[in-house]
Amino acid sequence: YKGFNEEILDPLYTALPKTCKKTWLYGNHENWVEQAVDKNPHLEGLIEIENYIDLKNWVKIKYNDIHKIGKMYFVHGLYTNQYHAAKTVNVVEKNIFYGHAHDCQTFTKITLVNNEPHIGVSIPCACDINPNYMRNKPNKWVNGFMTFYLENNGNFNHYIVIANKGHFIYNGVKY
């Protein structure tokens, strides 16, 4: 938790305006902590995320609940199969964005009734793409993030940015 606070949250708080609305989507890792406490009650109060990460000014979304912003829906992620973006958009039938799979995948579905597109987007991760437990096995994980612009009517444009070896180009600027 200390590393997450120092390396992720502290720089984020420095960069964001104080009025920025922040949303935390609980995922499988937080759920694993809850399962560990349920199986080992003596750990209660010692390992829960809320005891180490200050989320009091965040909107908190429960594990597998969906959060709506305009015509965009966000969830931690439901599937990791080969075509998880297609599976997710076919189940949700909305514009759905998630990060659970740690890769970059997009699927578009057009509805028959009003010809409205629905997209499913797997957002890249901001983590070690070769963690020790993977034992150097090839995987589909990529580093990156997503930005989006939202219109007053709920329409949006989203942009996936892929980072390569700690660098990326956004709006023509290398970071």
* Tens-place pLDDT, residues 136-152: 999 999 999 999 999 99
Q: What is the Cβ-side half-sphere exposure of residue 60, based on CA atoms within 13 angstroms?
A: 10
pLDDT at 77 over 90: yes
**Angle (CA) 118 122 127, round 5°:** 160
The pLDDT score that the predictor gives to residue 98 is 98
pLDDT (average), residues 70-99: 97
pLDDT at 166 over 90: no
The pLDDT score that the predictor gives to residue 113 is 82
* Contact predicate 30/77, CB 8 Å: no
> Dihedral sign, CA of 174, 138, 130, 15?
positive
Confidence of residue 114 (pLDDT cuts 50, 70, 90): confident
Strands (E), 65-165: 67-69, 72-74, 95-98, 105-110, 117-122, 143-150, 156-163
pLDDT at 132 over 90: yes
The pLDDT score that the predictor gives to residue 23 is 96
Confidence of residue 22 (pLDDT cuts 50, 70, 90): very high
Q: What percent of the chain has pLDDT over 70?
A: 100
**Angle (CA) 38 98 171, round 5°:** 135
The pLDDT score that the predictor gives to residue 112 is 84
The pLDDT score that the predictor gives to residue 175 is 94
The pLDDT score that the predictor gives to residue 118 is 96
pLDDT (average), residues 92-99: 97
Cα–Cα distance between 94 and 73 in angstroms, integer? 7
Cα–Cα distance between 142 and 150 in angstroms, integer? 25
pTM: 0.91
Task: State the average pLDDT for the chain.
Answer: 95
pLDDT at 111 over 90: no
